[in-house]
Amino acid sequence: MWDCPVRYDLRLCDRRPAWLQGTNLTRFDVPGLCNQIWADPTGVSCTDIDQMAGCVLGGGTAVNAGLWWKPHPEDWDTNFPAGWQAKDLAAATDRVFSRIPGTITPSVDGKRYLSQGFDVLGGSLQAAGWEYVVANETPEKKNRTIGHSTFMFSGGERGGPLATYLVTASGRNTFTLWTNTIAKRIIRTGGHATGVEVECNRGGHVGVVNLTPNTGRVISAAGAFGSAKLLFRSGIGPTDQLNIVKNSADGPTMIDSEQWINLPVGYNLNDHVGTDIEIAHPDVVFYDYYAAWRSPIASDAETYLANRTGPFAQAAPNIGPIFWEVIKGRDGIDRHLHWQARVEGLTNTSMTVTQYLGTGSTSRGRMTITRQLNTVVSTPPYLRTEHDKEAVVEGLISLQKSLANVAGLTWITPRAGVSAEQFVNSIPAIPSRRGSNHWIGTAKMGTDDGRSGGTSVVDLNTKVYGTDNIFVVDASIFPGMITANPSAAIVIVSEHAATKILALPTA
């Protein structure tokens, strides 16, 4: 048994505002405090990635807003290869949603609070002919439909994989959890891994976990940047990236270049391209979730602590409605738009609405590594094809038309006189302006082996090409972007991958 001397994660238990002192709740548990990741990311967000990501137990699902969607069948059928189509994923989807059903009424009294924004925008869209749906009951209905946000929250708290999968895994006597421990590199001979070199988050303590001879496997679930980085450090990736690692502090221990496996790790990067618009209406009411960290409305804090009811049982900053439209491109491709509203903006009656371009998007970018072993988005994946841009513009025009006759509604951005196209073009296509933190694709799954000119890094069993016992199971392996926020789909992919990996012969 080996463990890091600094139990850094345990210090996260101190991460609570004064009004949670004396309870067993941290900021991560309370849906209404989820936005604290933006106010105070220190010690929570990853420091080796140039994007926002949770480097804590649970990763993104510990810090995110909890949106939890049953995927549209086209998310699988358009993007994924044979064996990973909607019909193939049905059983895994059922398993995930039986454990984490999600809810559109996260407050345990079944009421929705602060619904003025939903009522204004949702009501206006329904008046314009958009259909109200309970999204996870009809995941295929994502064209001119509107619904309440669905969250993974449970019992008025965060819930999700940490409250379900981790709990049952922890009950197994074969399961050991090491926190504060970074997988530095996979030790391998040719395509066979024999161990993982690990190091402490702090202090540089290093050790090796040996795999069980013959049957041991390594499964990387370090996220779209973390898994790619681990592969680079293990001598798996494009030669330019492996040379950077060779010239870094890793150089002396890096596997010999004769054993490098040349795969397109880091390419195929994608994220929902976000386009924010802002509207205002006198009926919309802003609730200051940000101020609630220090000075919550006393009665709201009390009702949350006593019963897990009220605004704090809902995600900040009052998210919803969510609505969807499919835009048929001139290239014949259906592009899925997911619009996500929240009650915040330049005025106290504002709503900011982000349009995400998902399934059908054809733009891709690239992530790379630096000599300091940090990962960077070197080619942002946003709006790199004309048809992607056209879909974004067309979707915005469609929304403008649907809201054209709403009494009292004003458009803040795009402002009057600016065309949808001018507006879309005016926002730089860089992560700080268009990013959604839904990164995928850096270790693409597919049948075209990347070692021989193909685009794929892992095969249909999620096994890294050129290896016999190294797997990647996380957002990295998604071949293309899906319709909505991705965490439920990532868990579904993990369920399905587990079935595939367990079915493989072990020796």
Ligand X SMILES: Cc1cc2nc3c(=O)[nH]c(=O)nc-3n(C[C@H](O)[C@H](O)[C@H](O)COP(=O)(O)OP(=O)(O)OC[C@H]3O[C@@H](n4cnc5c(N)ncnc54)[C@H](O)[C@@H]3O)c2cc1C
List the binding residues for FAD.
56
Nearer of residues 366 and 389 to ligand X, judged by Cβ: 366
Residues 6 or more apart whose CB falls under 8 angstroms from that of 115 comprise none
Instruction: Supply the minimum distance, in Å, between the C-beta of residue 360 and ligand X.
Output: 19
What's at 113, amino acid-wise?
Y
Stretch that binds ligand X, among 48-56, 168-176, 238-246, 395-403 (CB under 6 A): 48-56
**467 versus 476: smaller Cβ distance to ligand X:** 476
- Whichever of 224 and 424 has its CB closer to ligand X, that residue is 224
Omega prior to 321 cis, within 30 of 0: yes
Q: Does residue 230 bind ligand X (CB under 6 A)?
A: yes
Contact present, 223 and 474 (Cβ < 8 Å): yes
Find the shortest distance in angstroms from Cβ 453 to ligand X.
27
* 248, 373 contact by CB (below 8 A): yes
Residues 8-37 that bind ligand X (CB under 6 A): 37
Q: Which C-beta is closer to ligand X: that of 124 or that of 456?
A: 456
3-state secondary structure of 181: strand
CB of 416 to ligand X, least distance (A): 32
In the complex with ligand X, the residue whose CB is nearer, 398 or 433, is 433
Site string for ligand X, 452-491 (x = CB under 6 A): ----------------------xx---------xxx--x-
CA 7 – CA 182 distance, rounded (Å): 13
Q: Candidates 127-135, 219-227, 265-273, 460-468 — which segment interacts with ligand X by CB under 6 A? A: 219-227
Distance CA 326, CA 394 (A): 10
Residue 342 DSSP class: E
Q: How far apart are the C-alpha atoms of 27 and 15, rounded to whole Å?
A: 6
Match 């010690």 to its residue by tokens. 43
Taking contact as CB under 6 A, which single stretch among the options 221-229, 240-248, 287-295, 424-432 is the one that binds ligand X? 221-229
Number of residues this chain uses to bind ligand X (CB under 6 A): 30
Residue from 102, 44, 1, 53 nearest 315 by CA: 102
The whole-angstrom separation of Cα 372 and Cα 352 is 37
Binding string, 52-71, against ligand X, x = CB under 6 A?
xxxxx--xxx-xxxxx----
Least gap, CB of 405 to ligand X (angstroms): 32
Fill in the per-residue mask, 409 to 428: x = in contact with ligand X (CB under 6 A), - = not in contact.
--------------------
CA 412 to chain centre: 29
Residue 496 known to be catalytic: no
CB of 344 or CB of 394, closer to ligand X? 344
Tell me the closest approach of the beta carbon of residue 342 to ligand X, in angstroms.
11
CA-wise closest residue to 289 among 150, 114, 435, 122: 114
Segment interacting with ligand X (CB under 6 A) among 47-55, 135-143, 169-177, 381-389:
47-55
Q: Does 365 bind ligand X (CB under 6 A)?
A: no
Is there binding between residue 222 and ligand X (CB under 6 A)?
yes
User: CB of 250 within 8 A of CB of 323?
Assistant: no
Strands 273-280 and 410-413: what pairing?
A: antiparallel
Q: List, in sequence order, every residue forming a beta bridge with 200; answer none if it has no partner.
A: 181
Provide, rounded to whole angstroms, the least separation between the CB of residue 224 and ligand X. 6
Min CB(377)–ligand X separation in Å: 14
What's the start-to-end Cα distance of the chain, in Å? 25
Active-site pick, 72, 148, 272, 438: 438
Of 102 and 446, CB closest to ligand X: 102
Nearer to ligand X, 224 or 420 (CB): 224
Q: Does 450 bind ligand X (CB under 6 A)?
A: no
Query: Are residues 142 and 324 in contact, defined by beta-carbon separation less than 8 angstroms?
Result: yes
Question: How does DSSP classify residue 246?
Answer: H
**Which own/partner contact pairs does 19-27 have at CB distance under 8 Å and 24+ positions apart?**
19/296, 19/301, 19/305, 20/305, 23/305, 25/157, 27/293
**Window 179-218: contact mask with ligand X (x via CB under 6 A):** ---xx-----------------------------------
CB of 259 to ligand X, least distance (A): 20
How many degrees, rounded to 5, is the angle at CA 256 between CA 252 and CA 261? 125
Least distance CB 211 / ligand X (angstroms): 16
In terms of CB distance, is 315 or 399 closer to ligand X? 315
SS3 of 165, please? helix
Binding mask 70-109 for ligand X (x = CB under 6 A): ----------------------------------------
| Residue 438 binds ligand X, judged by CB under 6 A | yes
Distance CA 357, CA 117 (A): 23
Chain centroid to Cα 176, Å, comes to: 25
Q: Which positions make up the binding site?
A: 56
Say if residues 227 and 442 touch (Cβ distance below 8 Å).
Answer: yes
404 close to 420: Cβ distance less than 8 angstroms: no
Among 136, 145, 402, 437, binds ligand X (CB under 6 A): 437
Question: Quick check: 336 and 74 in contact, CB under 8 A?
Answer: yes
Q: Which stretch binds ligand X (CB under 6 A): 46-54, 187-195, 345-353, 459-467?
A: 46-54
| Binding site residues, ligand X, CB under 6 A | 37, 52-56, 59-61, 63-67, 182-183, 221-224, 226, 230, 437-438, 474-475, 485-487, 490
Residues labelled catalytic: 438
